[in-house]
Amino acid sequence: MDWYVYQRGSSPIRKVSRKGQRFRLKRNLFILLVICVVAGLLWCASVLGRINSGATTNPMQEADAGIILGMSMWGDEPSPGLKERLDYGLGLYREGKFTRFIVSGGLDKADYKYTEAEGMKNYLVGKGVPETAILLENKSTSTYENLQFSQRVMQTEGLKTAIIVTHTFHGQRAFEIAKELNYSSPELGLTDSKVMSMFKYKTREILAYTKWKMQQLFL
């Protein structure tokens, strides 16, 4: 009888074996977690390096158009960050680097009066740029669409070459997208920011760049 109960009961060897399996499972999960964290940090460091490598084309050649990539509007006015892009693009225009603007960006909020493109046009006109020198692309909601839809404007207007105007932290992704879209010898005109937190915007750009690479890989 005692022998039967012993046979039916829990084996000490089996208990030890189960504990060992749980320990190995936890250890393997921990190792996998560490590998993922390290890989993620290495990827972020690599992307940050690429972001920081963005630079204005030098020497910059004259182009048919300057494409100013949109940022958020603050009500009826361009945000301070967007004004930095506009002012930098305005400087290039006055230097004769291009003769036509393409301002690109859709509606930020449903109750806003102007799209990003319309707000940019109003700003440039207020700085003395003729309305006839400004082309609008006011449907885009992302950097990819900025460049894709602006390319269609260029094709409609018979424009062949462009200088892409944006901030330095945004330049590398914009350039890669332009190459993906088969822009003809795209150039970059990049400005640093004195009004935006680079920690915030570079962190966001790491995520945006990662999303862009995932889209390239799977789509």
| Dist. CA 130–CA 113, nearest whole Å | 22
pLDDT tens per residue across span 123-180: 999 999 999 999 999 999 999 999 999 999 999 999 999 999 999 999 999 999 999 9
By three-state DSSP, how is residue 75 classified?
Answer: coil
| Dist. CA 30–CA 41, nearest whole Å | 16
pLDDT score for 13? 57
All residue ranges of the chain with pLDDT < 70 are 1-16, 219
Residue position matching structure tokens 């990539």: 69
Q: Rounded to 5 degrees, what are φ and ψ at 96?
A: 85, 20
Q: Does residue 166 contact residue 132 with C-beta atoms inside 8 Å?
A: no
